[in-house]
Amino acid sequence: MSSREDEELLARFLASTSPSEFVRLQRGVDMVRLVEGLDDWSAVRLGALGPVSAPAAHLLNRKRASLLSTCVREDGSALAEVFALFVLHSSSDQDMKQVLRALAWDKRLGSTLGDMAVVREQLRRRGLPLSDFPDRLERPREDMARGARESLTEAVSTSPLLQWGTSQDYDTRKRQLPLPYQRALTQVESALVQQAFSASHVTTGVLDELTFGCRWASTTWRRGQAGACLPSHGASTSRPRAS
């Protein structure tokens, strides 16, 4: 299939109205070929619709990990945490294990999620503490070369003044998030500009609202079913879907 055909097929999936329809649409489709042809963000949007059949799911989780790493590197941890929460809320426990293992294998787990207090706490509550996913052993030549390549963007992730809107596709990704995540990003942007708090405090205060007054049903997550958010104040039980 061409890139255009991939995009048209993705649009059909994004138009699905339920996880069951999403699963039905996968029949007869080369999902590995489709996911492989999508950029990281498009793959994440696809995965938010429902469970993706194996072995495409493994490739999808690699792209989820890649997106999180890119968001932190290009936009900074405060803004990236909103996208990390979207990935977390739209992934099963099994999927998140693969995402965390992929980050740890690339020696990026700490640098990607280490400063995200809300994400770390939600992972802990789901039985997925970061401490359970140690980084691989050092590969001096490979790791030094990668560090040199990324050194030019390192200041972005440590300076709140430089975090907002640094990546070319940031605005597009923001517009395609569900509205609660868009609102959270806007609040984080405002707080970063005002320089009222440290980035970590800003994120924690704003992103606590993304629990939507819900408590997570750990028994359902253990069965590998995403979207098990039990409302305590009339919150929606639907899986977060990208626009």
Please give the Cα distance from 200 to 203 (Å, whole number): 5
HSE, side-chain direction, 13 A CA sphere, residue 86: 33
Please give the Cα distance from 113 to 68 (Å, whole number): 8
- 121-169, pLDDT tens digit by residue? 999 999 999 999 998 767 655 555 555 445 544 544 445 444 555 567 8
| Beta carbons within 10 angstroms of residue 102's beta carbon | 21
- 209-241, pLDDT tens digit by residue? 676 544 443 333 333 444 434 333 344 445 677
- 79-127, pLDDT tens digit by residue? 999 999 999 999 999 999 999 999 999 999 999 999 999 999 999 999 9
Tell me the two tokens of residue 109: 């787990």
Tell me the two tokens of residue 231: 């409302």
Please give the Cα distance from 189 to 215 (Å, whole number): 27
